[in-house]
Amino acid sequence: MSDEQPPAALTIAGSDSGGAAGLEADLRTFLTCGVHGLVAVTAVTVQNTLGVHDRSDVPARVVAGQIEAVAADMGLQAAKTGMLASAEIIRAVARACEDAGIGGENGVPFVVDPVAASMHGTPLFDDAGLTALRDDLLPRATAVTPNLDEVRLLTGIEVTRRERMRDAAVALHELGPRHVLVKGGHLADDPECVDLLYDGTTFTELRGPRLDTPHTHGAGDAMASAFTAGLARGMPVAEAARLGKWYVGNAVRHSYPMGAKVGPVSAFWRIAEENRS
Ligand code: PXL
């Protein structure tokens, strides 16, 4: 046995029965980044590569209870959100995080991944959820990690060229998060995959090649959870964001087909690379 506790991170997220995205992706990423994963489940989706066929939301009281229970006893060094399902759950999460010292001015680092829709385009919260996310949760975030669809929903800004990402980052920063990471992966005409990090003063580009694979399910979750794992390990925000970018690039490079449509990004790329050397 070890006398030393590893760093721990909490994911507040929904379950994907297909095992590609959601809390399943987050826990795998935490594991492969050397971080113990704690969980507050928000919803159970009935899902495969053909779509989200059904779902059951966890009562807001139980979501908040999970956050309170693990924070009170187990200790955590970072937290993230994924699918939050409803305005009621978002407000309960914001309150529980405030009470548990997650996010805000002096709390543990808190990554809000504003997951708005599933891979298949099924909304994962409604308009009231968007308002609650903007008003209650973003002001608590250490970093928010939207893709360009989520940028449009949160700010109304339509980013069609890389240069516009700066305006989007500034508009998002005004909503209260300390850092904004705008992900440029959806700019299909861009030969590179460039994400933009903004801390209210400085813009930092995180560059990566555009990889040619249809199998990208869970990429956003892998990015946000590797970023969170870096924060749990004590990295400064920019270094943790670079870890997220590096991790997801490798996970996409090792993605595989599974099911009839979009397959998952790989969580075993680190193991595969170790076995090769
Ligand atoms: O990738 C975003 C995401 C997060 N959480 C759940 C999901 C998805 C996408 O399908 O199903 C539960």
Mean pLDDT, rounded, for 93-105: 98
CA distance 61 to 8: 23
Residue 274: pLDDT over 90: no
Q: Residue 214 — pLDDT band, cuts 50, 70, 90? A: very high
Mean pLDDT across 135-144 = 98
Top pLDDT among 121 and 101 is at 101
Tokens of 180: 């904004």
**Helix 148-155 to helix 165-173 angle, to the nearest 10 degrees?**
50
In a domain, 157, yes or no: no
Residue (of 204, 125, 118) closest to 169 by Cα position: 204
Residue 175 within any structural domain of the chain: no
| 262 CA distance to ligand 1 middle (Å) | 13
User: What is the structure's pLDDT at 120?
Assistant: 85
For residue 272, pLDDT beyond 80: no
Q: Ligand 1 pocket: which of 111, 115, 147, 262 to mutate (most atoms <8 Å of CB)?
A: 115
- pLDDT tens per residue across span 239-258: 999 999 999 999 999 999 99
The average pLDDT across 216-223 equals 97
Residue 98 lies in a domain: yes
Distance 4 CA to ligand 1 centre (A): 33
Residue 96 confidence class, pLDDT cut points 50, 70, 90: very high
In a domain, 76, yes or no: yes
pLDDT of residue 125: 87
Q: How far apart are CA 31 and CA 264, in angstroms?
A: 17
Question: Distances from the Cα of 147 to the Cαs of 8, 35, 104, 129, 157, in angstroms?
Answer: 26, 25, 23, 17, 12
Inside any domain, residue 260: yes
Whether 7 and 37 have beta carbons less than 8 Å apart is answered as no
Confidence bin at 268 (pLDDT 50/70/90): confident
Q: Is a pLDDT exceeding 80 seen at residue 90? A: yes
Domains identified in the chain, total number: 1
Residue 275, pLDDT above cutoff 90:
no
How far is ligand 1, taken at its centre, from the CA of residue 201, in Å?
A: 32
Say what the pLDDT of residue 277 is. Answer: 67
Ligand 1 mutation pick, 111, 221, 248, 255, max ligand atoms within 8 A of CB: 221
- Span from the CA of 16 to the centroid of ligand 1 (angstroms): 6
- In the reported structure, the alpha carbon of residue 2 is separated from the centroid of ligand 1 by a whole-number distance in angstroms of 34
34 inside domain? yes
Q: What's the domain range around 54?
A: 8-147+214-270
Q: Is residue 239 part of a domain?
A: yes
Per DSSP, helices labelled H in 21-180 are: 22-32, 60-73, 87-100, 127-132, 148-155, 165-173
pLDDT for 18-62, tens place per residue? 999 999 999 999 999 999 999 999 999 999 999 999 999 999 999
Ligand 1 atom, smallest distance to 14 CA: 12
The percent of residues in the chain predicted with pLDDT above 70, rounded, is 100
pLDDT the model gives residue 276? 73
Read off the pLDDT of each residue in 168-184 and give the average, rounded to a whole number.
Answer: 98
| Closest-lying ligand 1 atom to the alpha carbon of residue 52 | 11
Whether residue 187 is predicted with pLDDT greater than 70 in this model: the reply is yes
| The pLDDT of residue 270 | 80
Query: Which H or E run contains 276?
Result: helix 269-276
Q: For residue 69, is pLDDT > 80?
A: yes
Mean pLDDT calculated for residue range 255-264: 97
Residue 12, domain CATH: 3.40.1190.20
- How confident is the model over 132-159, as a mean pLDDT? 96
Ligand 1 pocket (Cβ < 6 Å) reads: 13-14, 16, 21-22, 45, 47, 82-83, 115, 118-119, 218, 220-221
Confidence of residue 2 (pLDDT cuts 50, 70, 90): confident
* pLDDT bucket at 126, cuts 50 / 70 / 90: confident
Instruction: Give domain status of residue 46, yes or no.
Output: yes
| Ligand 1 centroid to residue 277 C-alpha, Å | 33
